[in-house]
Amino acid sequence: MSRATRWAGVSPTDRRAERRSLLVDAAFNLFGDGGDAAVSVRSVCRASELNSRYFYENFDDTNQLLGAVYDQVGAELTQQLAAAMAAAPDSDHSQLRAGIGAVLEFSSTDPRRGRILFTEARTNPVLAERRTKAQDQLRELVLSAGRRTDPGSDRLLWEVGAAMYAGAMAELAQQWLAGHLGDDLDAVVDRAVRMLLRGAGAALPDPARAAANDG
């Protein structure tokens, strides 16, 4: 498609949205395959077939772009997780299994997703900030469920349990993606559910299930 006709018939607002999407997709591919070193204004513009003018139309720098990549992948995971939870039977075991399975499957089906959400998010400052916020949101979701379903319970118990739940999910995904847990997804999910229900997690309602019941 020629430069003269690429945006023909497309409104200015839609043109900008489409260009932003092209830049985010290009950064996802580059970062997912090669990490920080692969992402620059030049490489992203080359991969998206856009010039730098359009890059700066949407982003101040590559850090802001990487944040948008993380947000997009995180939103996709949220959608897949919600669908899995909605389709699962309404029991602690089934809901936990569906939720944990969805996170691990989403992350490993396309390893670039897991690299962005869990692996690189440990070392890249921009992604690490996003990862921290995501864990904080999950922890607050668990706490909200506790206050709503059992308002008279020990608040410290909920604080400790929520912290363990949020941290455990991130670490489990990291170890799975690194190949340290083998390649049997069902076996890993089964054991994770067993541990959560047997340990401190048994005292906590599944946050995704509680949120779904509210909706």
Q: What is the pLDDT along the chain (215 residues), one digit of tens a residue?
A: 445 466 667 788 888 999 999 999 999 999 989 988 899 999 999 999 999 999 999 999 999 999 999 999 988 988 888 888 788 887 767 877 888 898 899 999 998 998 888 888 777 888 888 888 877 876 776 666 556 656 666 777 777 767 777 778 888 998 999 999 999 999 999 998 887 777 544 444 444 444 434 44
**Cβ pair 186, 97 in contact under 8 A:** no
pLDDT of residue 199: 54
What does pTM read for this prediction? 0.78
| Domains in the chain with CATH codes | 12-59 (1.10.10.60), 66-214 (1.10.357)
| Cα angle value 123/189/109 (rounded, 5°) | 60
